[in-house]
Chains A and B, each alone.
Chain A
Amino acid sequence: MSGVHVACRLPLADFVLEADLTLPGRGVTALFGPSGSGKTTLLRCVAGLARGVGRVEINGECWQDDARSFFLPTHRRALGYVFQEASLFAHLSVRANLEFGLKRIAPVERRVGWDAALELLGIGHLLERGTEALSGGERQRVAIARALLTSPRLLLMDEPLAALDARRKHEILPYLERLHDELAIPVLYVSHSPDEVARLADHLVLLEQGQVLASAPTGEVLTRLDLPLARDEEAAVRVDARVLSHDEAYQLTCLGFAGGLIQVTRKALAVGAAARIKIQARDVSIALAGDRRSSIVNRLPARIVGFGEAAHPAQCLVSLDVAGTPLLARITRLSRDQLGLVEGMMVVAQIKSVALLG
């Protein structure tokens, strides 16, 4: 059976962690939820570091099945684990840290090469240093490379950016995105940052009080109005697009996605390159179809799918469907009523700003 199957039950101090998940066999799955919702514990159960009762199966390889009293200890599970804080061995150099896991992997089973891992995370120049001399971002990159070098069948990442300041985060995010693009293995990524989730995750599992609220493709979960994500101040959707052309006269770049075209300020990207963009709910407004004049360049025909409550009572959320691509708009309730917006209506989604990811 392909895919990642995790069934786990573990009573914790305040609640019972209970999950039964079938996740994609490759790509990044984010475990998302507020602090203390059981995300990390679920990850530890998958790793065998915490002893939940249930079943863990990774692309056909069974690690745990309590129904037949089968439990592989952590060191016999082919996984990579990146901890929240720097977890490098202080008594070893960077090189020895990287070799620690690698040397226990038989050469025939190595699928991630030494040079490839160093290159992917940009740590080749750090090899002979001690771990104390590294910055937080460098440590985390070494920790990720160390995990990758064991050629895991599953990569587990427990908020690898949480202990870093904003600058370090931006330093390391591109590496994670490359990881996402170049690794053929499933990644479970614990996070409580909507921004990280929007950037990295293909699939999203929403946890609260140990219960799974949702498990679906990221775009779907991000725009579901009944879930807390859409209500977040930073609520956003991610759109996978491609560079179509550049307009040198107006210094714009035209991106194409399933729902149409979006123009952004000129980006140094090759025509045909993939571009992942983030559109925040607060940057999307709604106009009635017909009136074509506006200073806003990006105007996409959309159908109203539904309405939801926003964090502030003055506002509401509108979930939109742009030719198959979900979009989220946050507008005032006053506008909704003045424009007479109703479900199923065709409108124009006006996108004020778009952030290019990575």
Chain B
Amino acid sequence: MHLSADDWSAIRLTLELASIVTVLLLIIGTPIAWWLARSRSRLRGVVGAIVSLPIVLPPTVLGFYLLVLMGPQGAIGRFTDAVGLGRLPFTFTGLVVASILYSLPFVVQPVQNAFMAMGDRPLEVAATLRASPLRTFFTVALPLARPGFITAAILGFAHTVGEFGVVLMIGGNIPDKTRVISMQIYNHVEALEYGQAHGLAALLLGFSFVVLLALYTVGGARNTLGAGR
């Protein structure tokens, strides 16, 4: 199996994208998961549904709306223009933003489940031991939710590695910028380079299997895969 320079570039770009997205998702997703797990607000259902949308939505639909929003007439596009960031479509930054939305439920749900599973008790205990709510969050809630975070990180990373539709819609196919592995496979197939496509596809297949194997043997993923609660 021989991988070309372009293939390697796509692999490097994909790993870079997935790493950045995973880190950002853990930062963004944790407060959302906490709120969804603990809030008694009536908005909880609505927010939960919105966060979970990417699970059922065709990626092309998500990508299409993002393209519109990020474009010159879109709200996001006008905002990024105004603050001097330029336009996001067909840039790596745009891919990061889109991937965050696309993989959000895969990070939020395992963390939310972990927060819900621990219940109120550990938090109450911490309060009776003089820990402020913020301190309790960092010294009790986060450590107790660790298995949820591990699952979330693995799923978020893997799901981002495997995305295609959203990239196709807003990222295009620009080498070294937005051409990720799934795009590269598509290119090979279009050019009838089945051998090349096979190399990358097998790589993704193996990667996906190893990820799921890790999740199911380490545990914690029992009901987190695509569980639209």
Which of A's residues lie within 8 Å of B, judged by CB?
A: 47-49, 73-76, 79-81, 83, 87, 89-91, 100-101, 104-105, 146-147, 150, 156
Complex CA gap A80/B126 in Å reads 11
Cβ distance B106 to chain A, nearest Cβ, rounded Å? 24
Residue of B nearest to A104 (CB): B130
- Known A87-B121, A91-B143, A91-B146: A49·B127 in contact at CB below 8 Å: yes
**B122, CB-defined interface residue at 8 Å:** yes
- Report the count of interface residues on B (CB-CB < 8 A): 18
A104 & B128 in contact (Cβ 8 Å cutoff): no
- Known A89-B140, A91-B146: A150·B129 in contact at CB below 8 Å: yes
Given A90-B144, A156-B128, 17 other A-B residues pairs in contact with their CB atoms under 8 A = A49-B128, A75-B126, A75-B133, A75-B136, A76-B130, A80-B128, A83-B125, A89-B125, A91-B140, A91-B143, A100-B131, A101-B128, A101-B130, A104-B129, A104-B131, A105-B130, A150-B130
Cβ distance B40 to chain A, nearest Cβ, rounded Å? 13
Residue of A nearest to B143 (CB): A91
A91 & B130 in contact (Cβ 8 Å cutoff): no
Residue of A nearest to B131 (CB): A75
Residue of B nearest to A79 (CB): B128
Complex CA gap A73/B143 in Å reads 23
Residues in A whose Cβ lies below 8 Å from that of B136: 75
Complex CA gap A8/B130 in Å reads 23
Residues in B whose Cβ lies below 8 Å from that of A105: 130
Residues in A whose Cβ lies below 8 Å from that of B125: 81, 83, 87, 89
Complex CA gap A28/B35 in Å reads 40
Residues in B whose Cβ lies below 8 Å from that of A156: 128
B122 & A100 in contact (Cβ 8 Å cutoff): no
**Which residue in A75, A79, A89, A150 is a CB contact (below 8 Å) of B132?**
A75
B131 & A91 in contact (Cβ 8 Å cutoff): no
- CB-CB nearest 6 A-B residue pairs: A101-B129, A81-B128, A74-B127, A104-B130, A91-B143, A75-B127
Complex CA gap A156/B125 in Å reads 12
A100 & B143 in contact (Cβ 8 Å cutoff): no
B128 & A47 in contact (Cβ 8 Å cutoff): yes
Complex CA gap A146/B126 in Å reads 11
A147 & B128 in contact (Cβ 8 Å cutoff): yes
B102-143 residues at the A interface, CB under 8 angstroms: 121-122, 124-133, 136, 139-140, 143
Complex CA gap A74/B133 in Å reads 10
Complex CA gap A90/B139 in Å reads 12
Complex CA gap A47/B146 in Å reads 29
Residues in B whose Cβ lies below 8 Å from that of A89: 122, 125, 140, 144
Complex CA gap A74/B120 in Å reads 14
Residues in B whose Cβ lies below 8 Å from that of A75: 126-133, 136
Residues in A whose Cβ lies below 8 Å from that of B133: 75
**23 residue pairs A–B, Cβ–Cβ below 8 Å:** A48-B127, A49-B124, A49-B128, A74-B128, A75-B128, A75-B130, A81-B124, A81-B125, A83-B124, A87-B121, A89-B122, A91-B140, A91-B144, A91-B146, A100-B129, A100-B131, A101-B131, A104-B129, A104-B130, A105-B130, A150-B129, A150-B130, A156-B128
Complex CA gap A354/B143 in Å reads 51
Residues in B whose Cβ lies below 8 Å from that of A81: 124-125, 128
Complex CA gap A7/B122 in Å reads 27
Residue of A nearest to B133 (CB): A75
Complex CA gap A105/B143 in Å reads 22
Residues in A whose Cβ lies below 8 Å from that of B146: 91
Residues in A whose Cβ lies below 8 Å from that of B122: 87, 89
Complex CA gap A81/B129 in Å reads 8
Complex CA gap A100/B143 in Å reads 14
Residues in B whose Cβ lies below 8 Å from that of A49: 124, 127-128
Interface string of B80-119 (1 = CB under 8 A from A): 0000000000000000000000000000000000000000
Complex CA gap A90/B124 in Å reads 14
Residue of B128, B131, B139, B143 with highest tally of chain A CB at under 10 A: B128
A83 & B121 in contact (Cβ 8 Å cutoff): yes
Complex CA gap A101/B128 in Å reads 8
Complex CA gap A100/B131 in Å reads 9
Cβ distance B190 to chain A, nearest Cβ, rounded Å? 51
Complex CA gap A330/B40 in Å reads 53
Residues in B whose Cβ lies below 8 Å from that of A83: 121, 124-125
Residue of A75, A79, A80, A90 with highest tally of chain B CB at under 10 A: A75
Complex CA gap A188/B121 in Å reads 20
Residues in B whose Cβ lies below 8 Å from that of A101: 128-131
Residue of A nearest to B124 (CB): A49
Residues in A whose Cβ lies below 8 Å from that of B127: 48-49, 73-75
Interface string of B129-169 (1 = CB under 8 A from A): 11111001001100110100000000000000000000000
Residue of B nearest to A88 (CB): B125
Residue of A74, A79, A80, A156 with highest tally of chain B CB at under 10 A: A74
Residue of B nearest to A92 (CB): B143
Cβ distance B157 to chain A, nearest Cβ, rounded Å? 24
Complex CA gap A101/B140 in Å reads 12
Residue of B nearest to A74 (CB): B127
Cβ distance A259 to chain B, nearest Cβ, rounded Å? 41
Residue of B121, B126, B130, B136 with highest tally of chain A CB at under 10 A: B130
Cβ distance A74 to chain B, nearest Cβ, rounded Å? 4
